[in-house]
Amino acid sequence: STTPVTPQSAQALSLQGIEHRFGANRVVKGIDLEIAPGEVMCLLGPSGCGKTTLLRIAAGLEPVQQGRVALDGHEVAGPNRAHLPPEKRSVGLAFQESALFPHLSVLENVTFGLKHLARRERIPRAMELLTQLGMADYAERYPHMLSGGQQQRVALARALAPSPRLMLLDEPFSSLDARLRDRIRDDTLHVLKTLGTATLLVTHDPEEAMFMADRIALMRDGRILQVGTPFELYCLPTDPFVVTFFGEVNELSGVVKGGEVATPMGMVKADWLEDETPVRVMIRPEALSVRQRARAGVEPHRHSHVIMAKLLGRSSLLHLCAHGSDGEEAHLHARVPGVYLPAPGEEVDIALDHSQVFIFPCRD
Ligand code: ATP
């Protein structure tokens, strides 16, 4: 279904044609991105791809060199308008090392951003956010009396308390240990969704992006490669880099013949590509299911065997050698659920889940 375009449905954030250079280094290369009201968008990508720079441009911390930034349909930086400073943009900011004011209590840190509210409304509002983030009991403490994770929660409460129209979060969970991180992510997402706050969250962690995001924008080298829901990026990737960014993949090469590509595990459909197109066949380790050979010698030309098996905990990783009907060999990693540790040399049958196989034409 489509939503009619009305003034009410103005995008919370709209970035158009954003370019950015540091000296001769072009770090943002023509980016367009829109965040709908209430939407959580994750900017995902490897270190140095320009995520933080783009976030800082949205916040007004970095001047716009080229392009246009609009909040709620109002241009705040661009050709038609001088740069609106960060404090006038109604955006909440929280960064990896968000510093709290050391001489103010937790409660005072959070009420600090509420000067626009009447005095008697400030404390209830601050306590509401501290409660939602599990920090109400610490209201009277000072920052140095808190753990890193607790400080992070207070920083989030401080950023959210003024009800910004847009939250900008740069790796807000990365300094936390894994268990704590999961809980704070959970609480933060809950608060963002309860308040309906549009959010742009920078992360280099694909799992964090999948958990937090309504949509993900995957960046590489200053450009956005794909924007979509976690499902779309994981299951319908439009670029080989998108596939590899979400985890290790097996890669084979092949050529399209009659709308198909031959692999040691059988034919894979590629009927949208012209015949004789050289292709990369990308196979997630989870796409391979492995079974002990039912009967020896059924298809002697297609026997595959185990090179090594390792237990990883919830899954087992198998290093396999697969033999195709044309006699070609392929070395593959398979990740199978549970404990499955066949001996090296054991013959196995390999089946392919075609929904986790991706084919891209080779580019040179
Ligand atoms: P990370 O995940 O490591 O924070 P990122 O994707 O956020 O990376 P940016 O911080 O936006 O990347 O940096 C993009 C590029 O711009 C990098 O090559 C970086 O070295 C460069 N850069 C960033 N800030 C500046 C600056 N103030 N002056 C010069 N170069 C900069």
Residue 201 sits at the vertex; the CA angle it makes with 175 and 26, to the nearest 5 degrees, is 100
Q: How is the chain split into domains, by residue range?
A: 7-90+164-244, 101-156, 248-361
Nearest CA, atom 19, ligand 1: 48
Closest CA to 156 of 223, 109, 103: 109
278 CA distance to ligand 1 centroid (A)?
Answer: 36
Residue nearest to ligand 1 atom 7, measured at CA: 52
Segment 286-292 shows an average pLDDT of 90
**Any atom of ligand 1 within 6 Å of the Cβ of 53:** yes
Q: If you measure from the C-alpha of residue 27 to the centroid of ligand 1, how many angstroms do you get, rounded to a whole number?
A: 7
The finding on whether 92 has its CB within 6 A of some atom of ligand 1 is no
Residue nearest atom 31 of ligand 1, based on CA coordinates: 22
Ligand 1 atom 9 nearest Cα: 50
Which contiguous run of DSSP H or E holds residue 198?
strand 198-203
d(CA 305, CA 293): 10
Question: Which tens digit of pLDDT belongs to each residue from 49-68?
Answer: 999 999 999 999 999 999 99
Confirm or reject: Cβ of 222 under 6 Å from ligand 1.
no
Q: For 155-185, how does the pLDDT look when each residue is reduced to its tens digit (9 = 90+)? A: 989 998 888 989 999 988 877 778 878 888 9
Average pLDDT in the 315-325 region? 90
Q: Residue 33 C-alpha to ligand 1 middle, in angstroms? A: 19
Q: What is the pLDDT of residues 237-271, one digit of tens each?
A: 999 999 999 999 999 999 999 999 999 888 999 99
Report whether 51 contacts 43 (CB < 8 A): yes
Asked whether 20 lines ligand 1 (CB < 6 A), one says: no
Q: What is the pLDDT of residue 288?
A: 93
Class of domain 248-361: mainly beta
Rounded CA gap, 119 and 105, in Å?
17
This model's pTM is above 0.80: yes
With DSSP H G I counted as helix, E B as strand and the rest as coil, what are the percentages for the chain, rounded to 5?
Answer: 30, 35, 35
The CA distance from 152 to 343, in Å, is 48
Given a cut of 80, is residue 45 above it in pLDDT? yes
Show contacts of 19-26: CB within 8 Å, 24+ apart: 19/65, 19/66, 19/67, 20/50, 20/53, 20/54, 20/57, 20/62, 20/65, 20/66, 21/65, 26/222
Pick among 1.10.490.10, 3.40.50.300, 3.30.420.40, 3.40.50.2300: CATH of 7-90+164-244: 3.40.50.300
* Tokens standing for residue 267: 């034919």
